[in-house]
Amino acid sequence: MSLLAEDLDLADLGLRWKPGFTTLGPAFFTALRPTPLPAPYWVGHSDAVARMLGLPADWRQSDSTLAALTGSLPIAGTQPYATVYSGHQFGVWAGQLGDGRAIAIGETEGGLEIQLKGAGRTPYSRGGDGRAVLRSSIREFLCSEAMHGLGIPTTRALSVTGSDQPVRRETLETAAVVARVAPSFIRFGHFEHFAAADRIDELRALADHVIDRHYPACRHTERFGGNAYAAFLEAVSERTAALLARWQAVGFCHGVMNTDNMSILGLTIDYGPFQFLDGFDPAHICNHSDTQGRYAFNQQPNVAYWNLFCLAQALLPLIGDQELAIAALASYKTVFPREFDARMGAKLGLSDAGEADRPLVDGVLRVLAAERTDWTIFWRRLSEAVATGDLQPVRDLFIDPAGIDAWLATFTPRHGGLPSAAAGAAMRAVNPKFVLRNHLGQQAIEAAASKDFSGVATLLKLLETPFEEHAGHDAHAGFPPDWASTIEISCSS
Ligand code: AMP
Ligand code: MG
113, 181 Cβ separation under 8 angstroms:
yes
* Residue 269 belongs to a domain: yes
Pocket test for ligand 1, best of 35, 116, 125 (most atoms within 8 A of CB): 125
52 and 100 share one domain? yes
- pLDDT at site 2: 42
Between 358-371 and 331-347, two packed helices, what is the crossing angle to 10 degrees?
70
Shared-domain flag, residues 275 and 331: yes
- Positions of the chain with pLDDT lower than 70, given as ranges: 1-8
The total number of structural domains that make up the chain: 3
pLDDT of residue 354: 86
Q: What is the pLDDT of residue 5?
A: 44
Does the C-beta of 183 come closer than 6 Å to ligand 1?
Answer: no
Domain of residue 213, residue span: 188-342
**Residues 319 and 389 reside in one and the same domain:** no
Cα-to-centroid distance, 119 and ligand 1 (Å):
12
Q: Is 260 a catalytic residue?
A: yes
Q: Is there a single domain that holds both residue 327 and residue 380? A: no
Cα three-residue angle 462-467-471, rounded to 5 degrees:
55
Same domain, 229 and 126: no
Among the candidates 342, 365, 380, a domain finishes at 342
C-alpha R_g of the chain: 23
Last residue of a domain, one of 182, 197, 222: 182
123 lines ligand 1 (CB under 6 A): no
Would you say 100 and 124 are in contact if contact means Cβ atoms under 8 Å apart? yes
Domain membership of residue 309 (yes or no) is yes
The residue out of 182, 203, 230 marking a domain boundary is 182
| Contact criterion met (CB below 8 Å) for 367 and 358 | no
Q: Do 269 and 197 sit in the same domain of this protein?
A: yes
Query: Which pTM does this prediction carry?
Result: 0.97
Question: Quick one: pLDDT at residue 3?
Answer: 45
* Residues 374-399 pLDDT 10s: 999 999 999 999 999 999 999 999 99
Q: What is the pLDDT of residue 1?
A: 38
Q: Which of 260, 290, 357, 374 is catalytic?
A: 260
Q: How far apart are CA 342 and CA 350, in angstroms?
A: 9
The reply to whether 168 falls in a domain is yes
Question: What pLDDT, in 10s, does the model give residues 197-251?
Answer: 999 999 999 999 999 999 999 999 999 999 999 999 999 999 999 999 999 999 9
Contacts of 416 (CB under 8 A, 6+ apart): none
In angstroms, how far is the first alpha carbon of the chain from the final one? 45
DSSP secondary structure letter of residue 318: H
Specify the DSSP class assigned to residue 9.
T
Gap from CA of 488 to ligand 2 centroid (Å): 19
